[in-house]
Each structure stands twice: as C-alpha cells, then as structure tokens.
Amino acid sequence: MINLQTPLEVILKDESLIETRIEPVSIPEKKIRYLCIDVFRGLTIAAMIFVNTLAMFDKTPAWTKHAVDFGLTYVDLVAPFFIFAIALTYKMSFSRYLKTEGAIKTYTRFIRRYGAFIGFGMLGSIYLTPEGFGFDWGVLQAIGLAGILTVFFIQLPRIYRFIIGFVLLEVYQFTIGLSVDIEGTIITISDLGFNDGHGGFVGGIGYGAMMLLSTAIVDDFRKINKWELLIFGFTFSALGTALHFIWFYLGFPAYGGLSKLRVTHSYVLLSVGLASILFWIIWYLYDNRKITKEKSYFLEPQGKNAFFLYIIQAAFLGLTLLYLRRDTHLALVFLGAFINVFLIWALGYIMDKKKIYIII
C-alpha cells in the first residue's frame, strides 16, 4: 500500500517529532514622562530666582525674606521644595542606572553628582576677609551633602527609609541642642552653624533626613498610588506643626520650633509635607486633569534644565545690582525680580527648543 501522507502530515501525527520551545519575550518598559515633575521643578526655580533677587536689597519687607530665627515665611520653603524636586526622580534614576551600569558605576555616578553640588556651592560662596578667603555654607552644599547621604539608603525598601529618616532627624534634633566649649565660651552646636544660613555643615544632616524622607514619600513615582502624596503631605504637615507648638508651650526639645536657619525637625517635616501637597496638586492638574493638554510653556522648560538655570542665575543677580541700588524702592525691586524670572524662563525656553539639556 502506498502511503500518500506528506512529510508535514507525518510530523503532525507523530507528537514525538514535535519540539516545543517557549522563550521569554522581553517587553520594553513603557517610558512615561510626567509633566508635573518638570512643572514642579520649574516653579521651584522661578521662586528661587525671585526670592534671591529680593534678598539683595534693603527695603524689602520681612515676609519676602527668611525668618530671622524661629518662624516661617514662604521664602523658607524654597530650599526644601528644591530638595523635594530632586527626590522626585532620585529612586527611579538610581534604579535605571543600576540596571544598565551596575552597582559600582551607579554609586560612583551619584556620589560624583552630589559632590559637584558641593563644589559649585563652594565656588559660588567664596568671599574675601582681612584674614583671607572664606566660604559660606549655602543651599547647594546642603543639597550635595543630603544627596550623598541618601545614596547609601536609596536601595532599601520604602518603610526602612521612613524609619531611618525619622531616626536620623531626631538624633540630629537632639545633637543641635548639645553644648560645646569653644575657647572658653559655651555654645550650642545649633548656634555654631546659625550664621551660615542653612544650619552649616551640621545642618546638612537635617537636609539629609529631609531628602531621605522625601524619597520615601515619592519612592518610584511611576508605580505608587498618587493619592499617597496627599496623605503623607497632610500627615507630615500636621506632625511638623504639632512639634512646633509642643516646643512653643513646653520648651522641649531645645530648638524644637520651626526654624529654617537651624533646620529643626518641625521645619523639616512641615516643609516636606507642604511640598508633597503642592506636588500632588500639580500632578492632579497637569497629569490627571490635563488642564494644559500635556504641555506647559512657562514652567516646563525651566524644569528640564533646573540645575543649570540655578547656577547661571548668579549672573542675572549680578547684573541686577548694576542697574538697581541696594536701597532702591520696593516697586522697582519687584520689577527687577520679575525681569530675572522672565530672562531665566526665556533661556530655558530656548534651550528646550534646541533640545539642549545640561545635567551632571
């Protein structure tokens, strides 16, 4: 009998000849760009340029300057918002580099990046005295130290970063109340860094706790429930406010009230909470409700080059002093501040149009 089956039919009938191969299919992760992150950064840069311009002049009212010691003005929130803006992408950026470059290169990259913050801050804060050169401890140094401290904990689960951040903050709060003998004069550690504007080097530990807690709130922003930002925001704000009034009425702990210059625990918690609430509002409007149809022509360009624009602002601040005296009328000072904000925006807009993005 002649077998009329084709070779294909034989193969289909004989299961032993069928080789089944199941290979994993790699589906590339969808890259989502959140407008709210650039808008928050852009808003922070605009606010920082505005308040830094006002700070140079003598006749600006108290509410446009940092609180003298204990207290809070909107100016005191700009630096914490800048730290929160960095925390927004800290975890996701670190994870991305870790996946493509490995642990050693990633840790080196981040330590170098935040070391550069400290370096730029030192260069920008040099001043001359009869005894020689000196340095102020400014916001860039504080951010740099905070970023380096955070990198050693960023891979830990979120809950552990919350715990470590709170413990670090309270240890710092206890430490700034300790007294030391400086050439026969008893002074607290908090007073040592008081004149530096951001708590000095020791205050950098407070900013480190601020950034660590911020990364715990945000974590990987792409994956968290966005409503958590609002919950954490109100919780942190309430806790920071409560700690201030506990200190106000009971005097405990030492330097426990709201103070940006001392970077106290109540200041850290309240500012992080308010930053979280503001960022949630921006996310809700720009990414959830899409009120600007996924584009912001005023704030987004600044957010894409936030670090560079912050560094270059020094040139615009210097130019302002060429055409305005320090005792200039308040109206002209405000005009100069708005002009600086506009010029920085224009530079950011041009760079964005030309796809020029400068990062460390």
Task: Give burial (CB, 10 Å; 0-12/13-18/19+) of 115.
Answer: middle
Q: How far apart are CA 146 and CA 170, in angstroms?
A: 16
Condensed to tens digits (0 to 9), the pLDDT of residues 47-76 reads 999 999 999 998 888 888 888 889 999 999
Phi then psi for 272, rounded to 5 degrees? -65, -40
Q: How far apart are CA 30 and CA 12, in angstroms?
A: 39
The confidence band for 130, taking pLDDT boundaries of 50, 70 and 90, is: low
Give the count of alpha carbons within 13 A of 98, CB side only: 11
Beta-bridge partners for 288: none
Indicate if the pLDDT at residue 131 is higher than 90. no
Domain boundary assignment for the chain:
30-353
29/104: higher pLDDT: 104
Q: In 3D, which of 347, 319, 257, 276 has the Cα closest to residue 69?
A: 257
Give pTM, 2 decimals. Answer: 0.87
CB 211 within 8 A of CB 86: yes
Q: In 3D, which of 66, 358, 17 has the Cα closest to residue 198?
A: 66
Condensed to tens digits (0 to 9), the pLDDT of residues 300-327 reads 999 999 989 988 988 889 889 888 999 9
Q: In 3D, which of 279, 154, 160 has the Cα closest to residue 208?
A: 154
Q: How far apart are CA 201 and CA 179, in angstroms?
A: 16
- What lies within 8 Å, CB to CB, of 232 at 6+ separation is 217, 273, 276
To 10 degrees, what angle do helices 265-283 and 35-54 make?
130
Condensed to tens digits (0 to 9), the pLDDT of residues 264-289 reads 999 999 999 999 999 999 999 999 99
Question: In this structure, what token pair is assigned to residue 232?
Answer: 């954490």
The confidence band for 133, taking pLDDT boundaries of 50, 70 and 90, is: low
